[in-house]
Chains A and B, each alone.
Chain A
Amino acid sequence: MDSPSTHSNQFESLVLEHHIRVRAFVRTLGVEADWVDDIAQEAFLKAYLDWESYDQTRDFGKWVRGIAANIVRNEIRKQARRQRILNSDLVKMILAEGKGDQSAWDHLPLEILKTCMSKLNQLNRTIVEYRYREGLNASEIAEQTERTSANIRQMLIRVRRQLRLCVERQLALES
């Protein structure tokens, strides 16, 4: 058996290696942004507690994502008490489809994403910064930029599509 500190260090490395993928996965299940980290941490905590049963030949990330999906399933069962955490019916639909863990990106490329963001035009870049760096909602961004909130949401959808496309192209080039 590993010593506690070895176990701890090994676990810490695994968390750092897999947290992005796990957090993004939890979000794709429809969990509200504010609760993503809470559920992802709970998944890692359960993994830590169940460490002895972890087969180290298996993909650790996939194992934790499975745990996270089960946490989300349990949340939905609590129904009304969790209405604010999850869009329950939508999450059920996503879970039923079973493709939540089939991201096109095995290793989610934050560096590539940053590069792609630097290519955004000034307006789009500003809106992304307001939304994700300053934490403003669409209405507040609309106020700052003298646009409508619907317009801001539409712009953000396009920006996210554009970024996804850019990342995929970069990955294809690199491979």
Chain B
Amino acid sequence: MNHDRFEELLGRLVDDELTAAEQTELIQLVEEDPARLGEIRNQLEVSELIALSEDELKAPESFLSSLQERIENDPFVTEIQTAIHSGKPIRKKSNLLPWMIATAAVFALLVTSLFFFTSSQEPVIAELTEIEGSFQWIDPNGQVIGTLEEGQSFTSGTLESLAPDGMAKLKFHDGSWIHVWGKSSLSITANPQKVLRLHYGNAWIYARRQPQEHPLLVHTPEADLKVLGTLFNVLVNHSQTKLLVKKGLVRLTRNADGAHVDVPAMHRVLSSTDTNESLSVVPQRRPVVFWKSNLPKDVTGGRWKPEMHALREEVRAATDKGEMTEEEARRFLESRMTDLLDDKGRLYATRVKRDPATKAGLTYMASLSVLLTQAGPTFLAEGARFIVKGEVQTPTQIMVGFCALDSGLPSGGRYYVERNVSGPFELEIPISAFQFWGKSLRSSNPAGKELLQWWCSTDSQEANLMISGLELLAPEQ
């Protein structure tokens, strides 16, 4: 019995899907029979060797190329080389891509040819495999489909979320998929080249290897991305496109000036319309289990009101009531002007359409993206908790929620908790208190998932929900 369980846990370990509790169990089984540790090592070793043999993205050329890039970008190396050698190691271009493309092209061409020969009408190109929250589909004729369900198939068109608390997944016939979350708008075509337009919002894209002549293209207002086969995040917010590559290689071309960079695995780049800024490809920071919101840069939904703005409104109200003269108000504002910075302020919930799957009507929501300013992924660890600071004008019930994805897996879900608040509030909410709101995540426990998007909402307009700060605290050691 123990042997079967050991094998089950061993399989999960090699698949990197072992939970903390399972790890403890596995350690106990190894303590019972220390020879099992050798079996663990053997399985991991052979697994890595098979990956090295089979996975083109792990080819030696790619490894060497990435290493050379790290060496070249290492500040110590640059400093030492400048000072001592006045030269730097020669960087050899990777020759990985040509043969990767060639092998992929044959398979992809076969698939696409077969598909198009069996279809006389405009072909179905993608299927909606997950949907949680409020979304609509707009076809090329402008017809809006407001009720979307899992399993629906689509030709070309645009998927739009109506509220920041939604998540949806589209799957192409070749197994490539796109996860969108938060307030997003994404157009897709595949004729046969897959072309995506992320007008705004967030997408996590997994592209199976594409034919050489038809690489997957992703257009954003600020940049064009060319993809052969990879896993990456694209975030379009605040007139910037942020690209985070998890696997593979993506070429980003800045629309404003045509400057381009190749972004390898575990690296990121930020592109805007400002051509004075260099396109810097930097390594992603390793995962962390804490996060402090960076207001207003993380805001994806709601209305950001800088302190100065809020102060002006308060002063205006005071003068309207006769509590202050115009002159007193002017002098007061001038005296405070220098103390107030644009990044100090409050985030107010604004009206959005309520998730049709749950409650009818409208809600008032503020939302933040975790990925916009974080330099790497943020994971929800067992024992972690959110600290939410804000204020309501009338006692009300608020809903606090977040979107999270399985680590590296194409499956996501939403979690929520409800709390009654009045006046200024500071809530400490352990992640274990959150309820699972979706149906597609394999496990309803948020621990171990990657945090993407956070939101807070109320159905009360009078409450005038305001958020002044949000933190995810790591578990206490």
Q: Give Cα A38–Cα B51 distance, bound, in whole angstroms.
A: 15
Is B43 positioned at the interface, with any CB of A under 8 Å from its CB? yes
* Chain A residue at minimum C-beta to C-beta distance from B16: A32
Q: Are A160 and B15 in contact (CB under 8 A)?
A: no
List which A3-44 residues lie within 8 A (CB) of chain B: 3-5, 7-9, 11-12, 15-16, 19-20, 23-24, 26-28, 30, 32-38, 40-42, 44
Q: Are A133 and B55 in contact (CB under 8 A)?
A: yes
Q: Which chain B positions have C-beta within 8 A of A171? A: none
Instruction: Name, among A15, A32, A93, A160, the residue most crowded by chain B CB atoms within 10 Å (CB to CB).
Output: A160
Chain A: residues with Cβ within 8 Å of the partner, total of: 72
Q: Are B379 and A83 in contact (CB under 8 A)?
A: yes
Q: What sequence of 0s and 1s flags, for each residue 21-42 of chain B, a beta carbon within 8 Å of any chain A beta carbon?
A: 0011011001000100110111
Q: Which chain A positions have C-beta within 8 A of B87? A: 3-5
* Chain A residue at minimum C-beta to C-beta distance from B19: A87
Q: Are A85 and B15 in contact (CB under 8 A)?
A: no
Q: How far is the CB of B171 from chain A (nearest CB, A)?
A: 11
Q: Are A154 and B7 in contact (CB under 8 A)?
A: yes
Chain A at the B interface: SS class: helix
Q: Which chain A positions have C-beta within 8 A of B377? A: 84
| 8 Å CB contact of B77 from A5, A48, A87, A160 | A48
Is B8 positioned at the interface, with any CB of A under 8 Å from its CB? yes
Q: Are A157 and B7 in contact (CB under 8 A)?
A: yes
Q: Give Cα A154–Cα B26 distance, bound, in whole angstroms.
A: 16
Q: Give Cα A45–Cα B76 distance, bound, in whole angstroms.
A: 11
Q: Are B60 and A93 in contact (CB under 8 A)?
A: no
Q: Known: A19-B60, A41-B63, A154-B7. Contact between A28 and B41, CB under 8 A?
A: yes
Chain B at the A interface: SS class: helix
Q: Which chain A positions have C-beta within 8 A of B15? A: 137-138, 153
Q: Give Cα A85–Cα B266 distance, bound, in whole angstroms.
A: 13
List which A42-93 residues lie within 8 A (CB) of chain B: 42, 44-45, 48-49, 79-85, 87, 89-90, 93
Q: Are B66 and A33 in contact (CB under 8 A)?
A: no
Q: Which chain A positions have C-beta within 8 A of B246? A: 34
Is B10 positioned at the interface, with any CB of A under 8 Å from its CB? yes
Q: Are B37 and A157 in contact (CB under 8 A)?
A: no
Q: Are B50 and A33 in contact (CB under 8 A)?
A: no
Q: What sequence of 0s and 1s flags, for each residue 298-330 of chain B, a beta carbon within 8 Å of any chain A beta carbon?
A: 000000000000000000000000000000000
Q: How far is the CB of A172 from chain B (nearest CB, A)?
A: 17
Q: Are A11 and B379 in contact (CB under 8 A)?
A: no
Q: What sequence of 0s and 1s flags, for each residue 403-417 of chain B, a beta carbon within 8 Å of any chain A beta carbon?
A: 000011110000000
In which size bucket is the chain B interface? 35 or more
Q: Which chain B positions have C-beta within 8 A of A110? A: 49, 52-53
Q: Which chain A positions have C-beta within 8 A of B56? A: 133
Q: Known: A12-B92, A49-B77. Contact between A37 and B63, CB under 8 A?
A: yes
Q: Give Cα A62–Cα B265 distance, bound, in whole angstroms.
A: 27
Q: Are B50 and A160 in contact (CB under 8 A)?
A: yes
Q: Are A41 and B67 in contact (CB under 8 A)?
A: yes
* Chain B residue at minimum C-beta to C-beta distance from A8: B89
Q: How far is the CB of B98 from chain A (nearest CB, A)?
A: 18
Is A134 positioned at the interface, with any CB of B under 8 Å from its CB? yes
Q: How far is the CB of B111 from chain A (nearest CB, A)?
A: 13
Q: Which chain B positions have C-beta within 8 A of A19? A: 60, 63-64
Q: Are B208 and A134 in contact (CB under 8 A)?
A: yes
Q: What sequence of 0s and 1s flags, for each residue 5-18 of chain B, a beta carbon within 8 Å of any chain A beta carbon?
A: 00110111111111
Is B286 positioned at the interface, with any CB of A under 8 Å from its CB? yes
Q: Give Cα A108–Cα B462 distance, bound, in whole angstroms.
A: 68
Q: Known: A28-B41, A33-B16, A49-B77. Contact between A15 and B52, CB under 8 A?
A: no
Q: Known: A49-B74, A99-B38, A150-B11. Contact between A28 and B67, CB under 8 A?
A: no
Query: 9 pairs across A/B with beta carbons < 8 Å?
Result: A3-B87, A37-B265, A38-B266, A80-B475, A81-B287, A128-B54, A132-B53, A133-B56, A153-B12
- 19 additional A-B pairs beyond A49-B77, A89-B23, A93-B27, beta carbons within 8 Å, are A23-B52, A24-B52, A33-B51, A35-B286, A79-B477, A81-B289, A81-B290, A82-B286, A89-B24, A90-B30, A110-B49, A113-B49, A128-B50, A132-B53, A132-B54, A150-B11, A153-B8, A154-B11, A160-B50
